[in-house]
Chain A
Amino acid sequence: MRRLPVYLLLDTSGSMAGEPIQAVNVGLQSLLSSLRSDPHALDTVYISIITFDKEVKVFLPLTELSEVQLEEVTCPKSGPTHMGEALEVVSEKVKNEVKLSSAEHKGDWMPLLFIMTDGKPSDLMKYKVMANKIKNENFGSIIACGAGPKAKEEYLKMITDNITMLDHMDSASFEAYFKWVSDIVNQGSKSAGVAEDLDLPPAPKEINIVI
């Protein structure tokens, strides 16, 4: 059985402190419980969570869905957003953790990358370089989410066309967003249409999708 690696990159910079980071925690919990109650996801999904603020941390190494023990994600009161470095770390992790197919062994599915931020990269130079690199790596999909009024879509556009902008940073928005993430993760097990459309599942109503 092929594994489906799912990488979540979460912005934990100072501006996320307070309600937003609480909402992210609630959202993560509901993402996990929704995936865990899905028999397809249990069969294949592995999750890794990487957080980024002034430093980049592997918050959860790539772990089989049923084995994930989630601790609370916290963030410093203030500080920069090292999003470029985060991309560098995930790129490195993917290289080491995702099994490629060889002539003898079946590899993993191409990993999914979700990235969420409420601002813009502080390490812009690195970000631009890494954005280019990430784009050309073998991700199944890269899905970016800009949360709140300060999130800058233009930077997210450098890595993907799949961008979701959340107008608010309350728990309802995040929960709806993580529900959508779970739908995307599970998409591979659903009926496929006759017309070859690789559409994402419809986003929850609260969210405004920019293609």
Chain B
Amino acid sequence: MSTLSVISQKGKKIEWIDKAIGSGTMKDVYFSPDKSYVVGFYRNKLDASSKDRLNSIVGVYKTKIIDGPNGDYWRNLLCWPYDIVEHNGLTGIVVPTYQRHFFFMHGSVNDDMLGIKGQEKNGKWFASAKNQNRFLHEKEKGDLLSYLRISILLSRALKRIHAAGLAHSDLSYNNVLIDPEGKNASIIDIDGLVVPGKFAPDVMGTPDFVAPEVIMTKHLPVNDSNRKLPTILTDRYALSVLIYMYLLFRHPLKGRKIHDTDPVKDEELSMGAKALFIEHPTDRSNKPNLNDVHPSELPYIDVDKMPYTILGPYLKELFDRAFIEGLHNPQKRPTSNEWEEALVKTVDLLQPCQNSKCSHKWFVFDNKLSPRCPYCGTPYTDALPVLNFYSSRGKGKFLSDNARLMVYNNQYLYRWHTNRLVHPNERLSDEDKKPAGYFVKHRGNWILVNQNLPELYDVTNKVDIPIGKHVVLDDNIQVLLEKGNGGRLAHVQMVNKR
């Protein structure tokens, strides 16, 4: 196989091995000899505006996002093209090779019977109940925490794209790579980015992720003013679908309702004009019909057994906005920022399942009197402290933050718990990444050990808790975690008391 090379637009020598390693909808992709980057050549000649778009992506937008503040963080989440080449009249983009953890290490069951070891971890593998239940190797599947973290990373990555005024335009499980085992995620195929008003999209998106308004108007000519094309608002729809699928292994709109006996028309209506959430609280007409599903889709397709409410109140609210209020009203859809916040808050509601064989290992604690893991049914029997957070708004006044932390054994407390103004994201300082304290069940009591909270104060008993000491978490006690601006007070509630 021969190696070809050219001098890139940025004046670098770019080489590639002349055998395509893959083909997308528009590009053929080639490896560099050292496999540190790939070159994707567009099969068709690009017009001036497409070239202009690529120039902006590898130019100003790369400078702003990947070479800007926290660039190292974004480089991991966004597989950003960094150079352009021309060869035989065709245009190619130079993109970093995907990180190693985005390729299957174990692949499928039965000694990798599908032969997928070494293949890219396309997101679809993990969003499908059938693939999860029947094919994926146990060590590839991850747990609920994996999918929450992956959803957080994807929301954050999309937030960054949107903050730059860009729309991804084709977000789908084909265009993200996820690694549940290592809890990593990355958005790929960034060369289709849309700059509203400047670079128009050239794709509608991928089936399952195309927003209803785009499907409903696709029969109109591209330049018709009523034609809806991908925008930041349709990205929000696609993100909501992705998150729903990663957390519940089913599609939010694919239920029993039939709109046409022609499957193509039926699909178009059920994803477009007649789209209806399968878990709509009052209109149950699209609830999946368990007689019609493949056995391997169970139990996930059973919305009575696994309703979306098992993901807790914060995510429920956003799913309602995405698939009920905002389904046909794009402005009401949750933003990527709202998703990120709700997902981060949901992580604080997690409890480890007591069953070591549980498929999901974690579940969102629902504050019920007799809690049990919704995935394996194992009851949670222990008493459990919950910290309800309030924060200072000056002059000794504390307001509820609508945030809480479900405590479990050996869990850490962090600065983003103790201060309302600190967020666990790309801007978090190294200092704030260190634990502030931890929870442990000790001689029948739940205690919080102070590791790094100089101002920790037991309000109820009026005593300081110096670093290295602990406070016993009794029902109804109040603990001041931090005094300054944004500092939080925790009100302890003991649930599941006998």
| Interface set of A (CB-CB < 8 Å, partner B) | 1-2, 33, 36-37, 39-40, 42-43, 66, 100-110, 140, 183, 188-196, 201-202
Within the complex, which residue of B134, B203, B263, B293 is in contact with A194, where a contact is CB–CB below 8 Å? B203
Q: Is B266 an interface residue (CB 8 A)?
A: yes
Query: How many contacting A-B pairs (Cβ < 8 A)?
Result: 103
The distance from the CB of B47 to the nearest CB of chain A, in whole angstroms, is 13
The answer to whether B263 touches A108, judged by C-beta atoms less than 8 angstroms apart, is yes
| Complex-state Cα separation, A42 to B294, whole angstroms | 12
The answer to whether B218 touches A193, judged by C-beta atoms less than 8 angstroms apart, is no
Q: Is B229 an interface residue (CB 8 A)?
A: yes
The answer to whether B263 touches A110, judged by C-beta atoms less than 8 angstroms apart, is yes
Residues of B within 8 A of A190 (CB): 24-25, 174, 206
Within the complex, which residue of B203, B254, B262 is in contact with A101, where a contact is CB–CB below 8 Å? B262
| Complex-state Cα separation, A40 to B124, whole angstroms | 7
The answer to whether A37 touches B115, judged by C-beta atoms less than 8 angstroms apart, is yes
Within the complex, which residue of B130, B254, B262, B263 is in contact with A42, where a contact is CB–CB below 8 Å? B130
CB closest chain-A residue, reference B123: A39
Residue from the set A39, A102, A140, A201 with the largest chain B CB neighbour count within 10 Å: A39
| Complex-state Cα separation, A200 to B268, whole angstroms | 20
The answer to whether B219 touches A193, judged by C-beta atoms less than 8 angstroms apart, is no
Query: Known contacts A39-B131, A101-B261, A107-B261: does B203 contact A193 (CB below 8 Å)?
Result: yes
| Complex-state Cα separation, A102 to B125, whole angstroms | 30
| Interface set of B (CB-CB < 8 Å, partner A) | 23-25, 43, 114-116, 119, 122, 124-125, 128, 130-131, 134-135, 170, 172, 174-175, 200-207, 210, 218-219, 222, 229, 254, 256, 258, 260-264, 266-267, 289, 292-294, 297
Residues of A within 8 A of B297 (CB): 1
The answer to whether B124 touches A188, judged by C-beta atoms less than 8 angstroms apart, is no
The answer to whether A192 touches B261, judged by C-beta atoms less than 8 angstroms apart, is no
The answer to whether A192 touches B258, judged by C-beta atoms less than 8 angstroms apart, is no
Residues of B within 8 A of A42 (CB): 114, 128, 130-131, 135
What are 26 A-B pairs at a CB distance below 8 A? A2-B267, A37-B114, A37-B116, A39-B125, A40-B124, A42-B130, A42-B135, A43-B131, A101-B258, A101-B261, A101-B262, A101-B266, A103-B258, A104-B258, A104-B289, A105-B292, A109-B263, A183-B23, A189-B174, A189-B207, A191-B170, A192-B203, A192-B205, A193-B204, A194-B201, A194-B202
| Complex-state Cα separation, A188 to B172, whole angstroms | 13
Residues of B within 8 A of A2 (CB): 263, 267
Apart from A100-B261, A105-B258, A192-B204, 6 more pairs, CB < 8 Å:
A39-B122, A66-B114, A101-B266, A104-B289, A190-B25, A191-B206
